[in-house]
Amino acid sequence: MSRRPYIREPSRMGWWLKQSRYMRYMMREISALFIGIYVLVLIVGLFQLSNGEAAYEAFLATAEGPVGSTFAVFAFAFAIYHSYTWFQVTPKAMPLTLAGKRVPGAIIIAAHWFGFVLISAALWLLAGR
Amino acid sequence: MEIIDTDIAIVGAGGAGLRAAIAVAEADPSLKIALISKVYPMRSHTVAAEGGAAGVIKGNDSFDSHFNDTVAGGDWLCDQDAVDFFIREAPRELTRIEHWGCPWSREPDGHVAVRPFGGMKVERTWYAADKTGFHLLHTLFQTSLKYASIERFDEYYSTDLMVINGRCHGVTAIEMRTGQMRLFKSKCVIIATGGAGRVFPFTTNGAIKTGDGMAMAFRAGAPLKDMEFVQYHPTALPGTGILITEGSRGEGGILVNKDGYRYLQDYNLGPADPWPRNKAMELGPRDRLSQAFWHEQKKGRTISTDHGNVVHLDLRHLGEAKINERLPMVRELSRSYVGVDPVYEPIPVRPVVHYTMGGIDTDIDAATSVEGLYAAGECACVSINGANRLGSNSLTELLVFGARAGRNAAEAAKHGIGATDDRQIQAAAQAAEDRVLNLFRKTDGDESISGLRREMNEAMEAGAGIYRSEDTLRASTETLQQIRERYKNILLTDKSNVFNTDLVEALELGSMIDVAVAMACSALQRKESRGSHQRLDYPDRDDSAYLKHSLARYSATDVPAIDYCDVTITNSQPGERVYGGVGE
Amino acid sequence: MSVRVSELEILRYDPEQDEAPHFQTYTVPCHDDWRVLDAINYVKDELDRTLTYRWSCQMAVCGSCGMAVNGEPVLACQTFVRDYPQKIRIEPLQNFPVERDLVVVMDDFIDKLESVKPYLVPKEEKEVDDGEYLQTPAQLAHFKQYTACINCLLCYSACPQYALTESFVGPAALALAHRYNLDSRDVGRRVREDVVACNSGIWECSFVGACSDVCPKSVDPAAAIQQTKIASTGDYFMKVLMPWKRK
């Protein structure tokens, strides 16, 4: 009839630039990319280790060089951001009720950070540094 | 015009309309149901009700008690056979909706909890936090989705009932998104369109409460009963008129004037202590509380604000935990709209129009005087509320009489309605369409919808407020008749067919004017004070002359003719309404 | 009470006259306690009768008045003019086709709401005269939050997945399914599974969380969906590892 509903299409490429909450979401998602690449770097390192000391030293030289270090800094920052955002949402995905009362989200998040720090410290010590 | 053939057409998809639709579907799944509403069902104003729904279930309660509270609360204008039926059905309907998933608040042992409410000797108000209407409506809507026989027509504005030779054969409605009129040809029609609070300027009611169903039935020959009885809810936020539930007083809230004094004790509702006490002080009936405010205002003891005079509703002594558990919505509303946190400060409140006791005259079977036409909910007047409704009886009423209307309409439809003259029905439908098209296509006229609406509101507030008198009512009635004439000069600015709210508001204004005239004229004729109808010139109740329902009959040119019919009295003889300490 | 002049830039669209939506500006003298809804009502009553929008309760419980104010989906009756600069941009909710002015076509949402079977599938049948199902306050608290949805569509408007993927069932519908799944009186998780736990259901959600951000009733649909993912994964493994246990 005289109806003609108008469809406003979102920008398929640029929708996430429209609001800060979408940009933060994309940063969170992209962090997985950086973490994934870093895992690959570790795997390559392991492989080079199995190829002998020379190969491993060569690997370390690349990994600790300017490009490698810059990447490592970004990867580390994204990893922390990834953990931060993950911990923030755990109370939503797994709400906890103890003795009839809802455990406040802040406590669940704090517990995750505590575990994170504990495990990181343990690994640091084990690595002998 | 497109014709939709159906068995039962239900106009209005709020609590009563949805309950009626489910009742028809359960009574006979083969019956086709057209559920027609001018808004999506979850927008219906049932959603805004807060406090609760009354029903006898606890050991300390009895049907007699609920019966007596209701009849006395209604100042003996209730039809007692209907009240008796209502209170007995109440717990069954409330349990039924619990079975459908309604999240009633509970006692520690898992049983449904009840809270005290105004005018009730024993606490019997079932509640779902302080959003009972919201939960009832959503439970009903979601449950209605189970039934394939219910076909919904959302955002269809109904305009006229098709009444041929005293029998209702359907209804015409505008499909709002296309502007096209449709004829719903049906064996029965149930009207469940709600009240008409928007006739007044200050109301808890949402924009949609414009009395369309009342006006449609009125014009089609069904009388409107007890229209002079309009309830003012004592506690609404100034400015917006947003409702602050009676439940806040049920939980122990108190009302104080500008001196911090609990003034209700000066109006036969005291003594102030012990508190809380059912049927006393802040738990008195709504009409008495609103009238007390009026007197306090006259004495200059109310607090002046930018939005008129207020009193204070103090909840501070309840404590944050109790407020968050029992009255979370009250806290939210108060903070959002008046910037007051009830945990720390008292809430400014004043009486505003809330409920229409009057409505389409129906009997105990939800049937009107027009064959095939039923009505239920706030738009109807059975009457179980009489001259003043007790809080929490209305939500229950939606369920009890919505179901009753549905079952009876289904029964009537099953038996068939004999031969129908399709030509006559279509001619009536065409006349309805022409009426709307004439308004739509008019190019001359100088009256504005918003201007006329405002003048109607002002006339009602001035003449038919909490306290009325002969001269104010006469003046208002004259003004309203003039407004009725001037309405013919309305000019629409919006000429689109697509979702034309200018047109819908114009039609709603027409409904409101018809309803307002009925209210004012009925009030003018009732020369006594009873319940929520208070006359300064006739301050006493006059049972010998006025223990009767008023019946307003529509006239196209003149004021409605008002006559009277008897009230059905069974067990409770008219007595004195006693609240407070005297009632013990 | 002071009055401040606001400029409302409102997106208009009349399909009978307009090729596409366009902005129109109105100058409105706003009182300091006005909401955007009050300003819009002023426009309609005093300036332009053709302005079209939905509203009713004006107390944030009916869900009618959702619209985008300065790009953010909000309820107009709960959004105060005093919190905004002088120029305010008002548009219909994103991600829905525009019917007329600020009125969007809600059909898709209604269909999806209905598709999740949002009604109680009782554990046991009970006669009305046998009284209510028992439910402790703790059991009620378990699902209560998810009953609060007023169907205002703000979450659909904020959700980028819904924007990009037409078939996504969406936050409110999935939260409502979760409400019933958590209700101690209900055993309907199986019957809702097909619509809820499929690729267009919970698995389309990537936990952006915008829905929960904009929800005026703190329903937290994002939480509902993640919890459903966990429950559904558990169901899946049960089905695969212990098929005999499925009722």
Tokens of A14: 């640029």
Regarding whether C237 and C166 lie in a shared domain, the answer is yes
Sheet containing B359-361: which strands, arranged edge to edge? B380-381, B359-361, B224-225, B548-553, B561-566
With an 8 Å Cβ cutoff, are A25 and C208 in contact? yes
Model pLDDT, residue C108? 97
Using the Cβ of A16 and the Cβ atoms of chain C, whether some distance falls under 8 Å is answered with: yes
Which of C109, C114, C92, C110 is CA-nearest to residue C101?
A: C92
Regarding whether C125 and C12 lie in a shared domain, the answer is no
Regarding whether C126 and C84 lie in a shared domain, the answer is no
Taking only the tens place, the pLDDT of each residue in A11-32 is 889 999 989 999 999 999 999 9
Taking only the tens place, the pLDDT of each residue in B60-97 is 999 999 999 999 999 999 999 999 999 999 999 999 99
Which of B98, B109, B8, B99 is CA-nearest to residue B59?
A: B109
- Enumerate the domain spans of chain B: 1-48+134-229+357-546, 236-351
d(CA C173, CA C115) in angstroms, rounded, equals: 8
Regarding whether C89 and C37 lie in a shared domain, the answer is yes
With an 8 Å Cβ cutoff, are C64 and B101 in contact? no
Residue A22 lies in a domain: yes
Model pLDDT, residue A99? 78
Identified catalytic residue from B249, B312, B389, B526: B249
CATH architecture, range B236-351: Alpha-Beta Complex (3.90)
Query: Which residue segment(s) compose the domain that C11 sits in?
Result: 3-104
- Asked if residue C246 has pLDDT above 70, the reply is no
Tokens of C113: 């709401």
pLDDT category at B584 given cuts 50, 70, 90 is: low
Q: Is B468 a catalytic residue?
A: no
Tokens of B391: 């809080």
Residues 6+ apart with CB under 8 A from C220: A92, C145, C175, C212
In chain C, the percentage of residues whose pLDDT exceeds 90 is 92
Q: Which residues of chain A lie closer than 8 angstroms to B175, CB-CB?
A: none
pLDDT category at A1 given cuts 50, 70, 90 is: low
Model pLDDT, residue B15? 97
Regarding whether C118 and C97 lie in a shared domain, the answer is no
Regarding whether C96 and C115 lie in a shared domain, the answer is no
Closest-CA distance of chain A to residue B181, Å? 13
Stretch B403-425: mean pLDDT = 91
Taking only the tens place, the pLDDT of each residue in C103-142 is 999 999 999 999 999 999 998 999 999 999 999 999 999 9
With an 8 Å Cβ cutoff, are C209 and A25 in contact? yes
The tally of CA atoms less than 13 A away on the side-chain side of residue B62 is 3
Model pLDDT, residue C242? 87
Regarding whether C150 and C78 lie in a shared domain, the answer is no
Cβ contacts of C239-243, under 8 Å, gap ≥ 24: none
State how many domains chain A has.
1
Using the Cβ of A101 and the Cβ atoms of chain C, whether some distance falls under 8 Å is answered with: no
d(CA C216, CA C62) in angstroms, rounded, equals: 12
Closest-CA distance of chain C to residue A29, Å? 9
- Asked if residue C67 has pLDDT above 60, the reply is yes
d(CA A40, CA A6) in angstroms, rounded, equals: 47
Candidates C40, C61, C113, C121: best to mutate against B (most CBs of B within 10 A) is C61
Model pLDDT, residue B485? 96
Please give the span between the terminal C-alpha atoms of chain C, in angstroms, as a whole number: 65
Model pLDDT, residue B51? 86
Nearest residue in C to A7, CA atom: C97
Query: CA-CA-CA-CA torsion for B63, B69, B75, B76, nearest 10 degrees?
Result: 20
Model pLDDT, residue B521? 97
Taking only the tens place, the pLDDT of each residue in B439-460 is 999 999 999 999 999 999 999 9
pLDDT category at B242 given cuts 50, 70, 90 is: very high
Taking only the tens place, the pLDDT of each residue in B4-26 is 999 999 999 999 999 999 999 99
- Asked if residue B312 has pLDDT above 90, the reply is yes
Using the Cβ of B494 and the Cβ atoms of chain A, whether some distance falls under 8 Å is answered with: no
Candidates C22, C72, C98: best to mutate against A (most CBs of A within 10 A) is C98
Lowest mean pLDDT among A54-68, B530-544, C216-230: A54-68
| pTM across the whole model | 0.95
Across chain B, what does the average pLDDT equal?
95
Regarding whether C142 and C79 lie in a shared domain, the answer is no
- Asked if residue B579 has pLDDT above 90, the reply is no
Nearest residue in C to B95, CA atom: C132
Taking only the tens place, the pLDDT of each residue in B372-381 is 999 999 999 9
pLDDT category at C16 given cuts 50, 70, 90 is: very high
Q: Which residue in B111, B143, B239 is closest to C132 by CB distance?
A: B111
Residues 6+ apart with CB under 8 A from B325: B129
Model pLDDT, residue B203? 96
Cβ contacts of A38-46, under 8 Å, gap ≥ 24: A38/A71, A38/A72, A38/A75, A38/A79, A41/A68, A41/A71
Model pLDDT, residue C243? 84
Regarding whether C177 and C119 lie in a shared domain, the answer is yes
Nearest residue in B to C149, CA atom: B138
Which of B241, B193, B243 is CA-nearest to residue B508?
A: B193
Query: Which residue segment(s) compose the domain that A61 sits in?
Result: 13-75
Model pLDDT, residue A129? 60
User: Which B-chain residues 195-254 have CB contacts (< 8 A) with chain C?
Assistant: 206-208, 239-240, 242-243
Stretch C96-107: mean pLDDT = 98
B111 or A129, higher pLDDT:
B111
Model pLDDT, residue B583? 55
Q: What is the CATH number of the domain that holds C112?
A: 1.10.1060.10
Regarding whether C209 and C112 lie in a shared domain, the answer is yes
Q: Which residues of chain B lie closer than 8 angstroms to C49, CB-CB?
A: 448-450, 492-494, 502
Q: Which CATH superfamily is domain B1-48+134-229+357-546 in?
A: FAD/NAD(P)-binding domain (3.50.50.60)
In chain A, the percentage of residues whose pLDDT exceeds 90 is 76
Q: Is B441 a catalytic residue?
A: no
Q: Which residue in C56, C185, C186 is closest to B206 by CB distance?
A: C56
Taking only the tens place, the pLDDT of each residue in A63-99 is 889 999 999 999 999 999 999 999 999 999 888 888 7
Residue A100 lies in a domain: no
Which of B204, B186, B187, B188 is CA-nearest to residue B196?
A: B204
Using the Cβ of B146 and the Cβ atoms of chain C, whether some distance falls under 8 Å is answered with: yes
Domain end, chosen from C104, C122, C144, is at C104
3-state secondary structure B339-375: CCCCCCCCEEEEEEEEEECCEEECCCCCECCCECEEE
pLDDT category at C157 given cuts 50, 70, 90 is: very high
Q: Which residues of chain A lie closer than 8 angstroms to C13, CB-CB?
A: 6
Model pLDDT, residue A73? 94
Candidates B40, B132, B492, B508: best to mutate against C (most CBs of C within 10 A) is B40
Taking only the tens place, the pLDDT of each residue in B101-120 is 999 999 999 999 999 998 89
Model pLDDT, residue B261? 95
Q: What is the CATH number of the domain that holds A24?
A: 1.20.1300.10
Q: List C-alpha distances in Å: A12 to A36, B494, C203.
A: 25, 36, 20
Taking only the tens place, the pLDDT of each residue in B115-142 is 999 889 999 999 998 899 999 999 999 9
Neighbours of chain C (3+ CB pairs under 8 A): A, B
Q: In terms of DSSP H, where are the helices of B28-158?
A: 63-73, 80-99, 132-144
Domain end, chosen from C52, C87, C104, is at C104
Regarding whether C129 and C19 lie in a shared domain, the answer is no
Across chain C, what does the average pLDDT equal?
95
State how many domains chain C has.
2
Regarding whether C155 and C35 lie in a shared domain, the answer is no
Residue A53 lies in a domain: yes
